[in-house]
Amino acid sequence: MKRTFIAIKTDPGEKIRDCITHGKTCLKGERIKWISPMQLHITMEFLGDTSTDQVNLTGQMLSRVIPAYDAPVIQYKSLGLFRNIKDPRVLWIGLDTGPVLIKIKAAIDRELKQLGFRIERRDFRPHLTLARIKWIQNKESLKDLLHAYRDYYFQESTIEKIVYYESILGREGPTYKVIKSVGFKYAAP
């Protein structure tokens, strides 16, 4: 069994890297696990424990589904939290994805369901996780950080591919190994 997920690899621009540096400075000493810029991604679907047969079928499905879509454009905007300021758990950058990514997600989910995967029922809220918060004492600093990036525009990116990853858990955190990478069809300029 492999622990797998489907995602969009993100290449953080200078503004995203600066935000992470600013966050680490503002929240120094807090129990926060920052995601390495090299591992930043937008999760499309977390599959969890996946058999060898399911891994192969999922790779084949992605090779069939993804090239049917134009490369989506994503805008990275504002900083937010999952849960709330009283009990923060995840610090993220919001995404304006447009309808194409939502259609791609729906197509992937339909196919995964046919392969026997349980699909999350919650609405798809695409985001870029920057940090997981274990415990934070200085919530005022967190509020200040959120306020500083509330309506901030980080970058725009054309997404070239979907990546199917294996997540290998280790003492220093997970390592992501590419199982398959599938490119989108490009729209005419």
Q: Which residues are catalytic?
A: 41, 127
Residue of 30, 3, 1 lying closest to 140 (CA atoms): 30
CA 103 to CA 145: how far, in whole Å? 33
Residue 122 is classified by DSSP as: S
Coil, helix or strand for 149? coil
Residue of 20, 33, 2 lying closest to 164 (CA atoms): 2
Q: Could you report how far apart the first and last alpha carbons of the chain are, in Å?
A: 42
CA 72 to CA 158: how far, in whole Å? 6
CB atoms under 10 Å from CB of 2, counted, come to 17
